């Protein structure tokens, strides 16, 4: 069996050890690589240029990734088209409407789907790695449920069990934050005193 066959499994296990939602971790890494290859290799690719233009450029989030990009020429060539289309829309006093999704978001969706499948079919070392991981963030678990036809029970138990635990800790935090309960609040662990940060993090996806 060629070595590449095992690559997604190796990446998955490493992502599970990252301390973050493994799908956020992998989607972030893969889309950053994709953006890099788009700008280096596909600026002259007509199909890509068309899709980019139809989308009206990258979405707000992925546009921000360009700030740290080194190849100014690729960014200039691609975005010149976009500014041209906007100027044309302004001239006609019409709002610009995109006709396609952001190409990076589309790639991210594809990558997420790949890892949802890998997770739903995982056993042995991959399953153990997920069991020891931070688990999926709430947005990714929602997507996982909508895209995987029969989500394995062991995954739904881990995920929903973890959210219920988080909910219980948040309830205690709220109760102990009430006026006159300083003594109770002082008994909370450092993690429980900042559980609101964990809650905010769990409810969002991270795409570094």
Q: How far is the CB of 130 from Zn ion (least distance, A)?
A: 13
Sole residue written with tokens 């678990």 = 141
Contacts (CB under 5 A) with Zn ion, residues 14-73: 21, 23-24, 59, 62
In the complex, the smallest distance separating the C-beta of residue 20 from Zn ion, rounded to whole angstroms, is 7
**Any contact of residue 105 with Zn ion (CB under 5 A)?**
yes
Q: Please give the full DSSP string across 103-164, using - where no structure is assigned.
A: HHHHHHHHHHHHHHHHHHT--HHHHHHHHTS----HHHHHHHHHH-SS--HHHHHHHHHHHH
Nearer to Zn ion, 6 or 110 (CB): 110
Output 104 or 129, the one with its CB closest to Zn ion: 104
What angle do the packed helices 46-55 and 103-120 form, to 10 degrees? 100
Report if residue 133 touches Zn ion, rule: CB under 5 A.
Answer: no
* Residue among 15 and 104 whose Cβ is closer to Zn ion: 104
Q: What's the Rg (C-alpha) of the chain?
A: 22
Q: How far is the CB of 58 from Zn ion (least distance, A)?
A: 5
Cβ neighbors of 181 (< 8 A, separation 6 or more) are 175
For the chain, the residue count is 208
**CB nearer to Zn ion: pick between 52 and 173:** 52
The binding site for Zn ion (CB under 5 A) comprises 21, 23-24, 59, 62, 102, 104-105, 137, 140, 205
């Amino acid at each position: 069996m060629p070595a590449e066959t095992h690559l997604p499994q190796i990446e998955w296990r490493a992502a599970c050890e990252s301390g973050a939602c493994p799908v956020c971790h992998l989607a972030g890494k893969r889309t950053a690589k994709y953006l890099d290859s788009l700008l280096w290799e596909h600026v002259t690719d007509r199909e890509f240029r068309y899709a980019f233009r139809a989308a009206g450029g990258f979405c707000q989030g992925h546009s921000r990734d360009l700030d740290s990009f080194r190849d100014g020429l690729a960014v200039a060539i691609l975005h010149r088209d976009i500014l041209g289309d906007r100027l044309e829309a302004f001239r006609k006093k019409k709002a610009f409407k995109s006709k396609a999704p952001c190409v990076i978001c589309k790639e991210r969706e594809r990558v997420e789907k790949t890892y949802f499948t890998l997770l739903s079919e995982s056993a042995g070392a991959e399953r153990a790695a997920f069991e020891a991981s931070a688990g999926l963030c709430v947005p990714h678990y929602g997507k996982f449920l909508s895209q995987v036809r029969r989500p394995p029970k062991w995954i739904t138990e881990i995920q929903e069990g973890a959210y219920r635990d988080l909910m219980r800790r948040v309830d205690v935090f709220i109760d102990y934050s009430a006026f006159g309960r300083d003594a109770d609040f002082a008994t909370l662990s450092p993690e429980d005193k900042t559980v609101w940060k964990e809650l905010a993090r769990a409810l969002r996806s991270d795409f570094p």
